[in-house]
Amino acid sequence: MATTGVFNGTNLLLKFAADGSAAVTIGHSTSCSLSLSNDLPEATTKDSAGFQEVIAGVKSGEISFEGLVAYDDANNAIQAADLLIARTKIDWSFGTAESGDAVYSGEGFLSSVEMSAEMESPVTYSGSITVTGAIAKA
C-alpha cells in the first residue's frame, strides 16, 4: 500500500550498481537527494510584447548522497570509488520500498565520491551521480 501523509526520510532509499547488475541500497546512508532540471532556452521575439518567452529544452538529473563508511556494507564507499575510477555506467533507483510509492530509476555515472575522516568522529562518505538518458517512474 502506498505511503500516505508526510513520511520519515529514513524510508527513502538510494540503490545503485554496475550497469546490468541488481541495484543494492547504499550502506549506512544518512541522506540522499534527487535533483531534476529542465534547460529553458530563450525564445523571446518582437512578438512577445516585452515579456520573456522560453521553450522546454534538455532535461537533466543529479543524485547526491552521504553516509557513514562501513567496509562490510554490501554497497560501500570503496565500491563507489572503484566504479568512478573505472568509468562504469551504473543503474540507480530512488524511492521507498513501499509497494505503490513512486520509484525513479535510470542510468548514470558517478561524478564524485569523497571519503572524509575527522579525528574522533565516524568516517563519512559523499558523492553524486549524473544521470544519463531517460528517467523512468514506476
pLDDT digits (tens, 9 = 90+) for 44-76: 999 999 999 999 999 999 999 999 999 999 899
Cβ neighbors of 79 (< 8 A, separation 6 or more) are none
pLDDT digits (tens, 9 = 90+) for 24-43: 999 999 999 999 999 999 99
Cβ neighbors of 8 (< 8 A, separation 6 or more) are none
pTM: 0.90
pLDDT digits (tens, 9 = 90+) for 104-122: 999 999 999 999 999 999 9
Q: How far apart are CA 80 and CA 77, in angstroms?
A: 5
What the block records as the C-alpha cell of 54 is 522560453
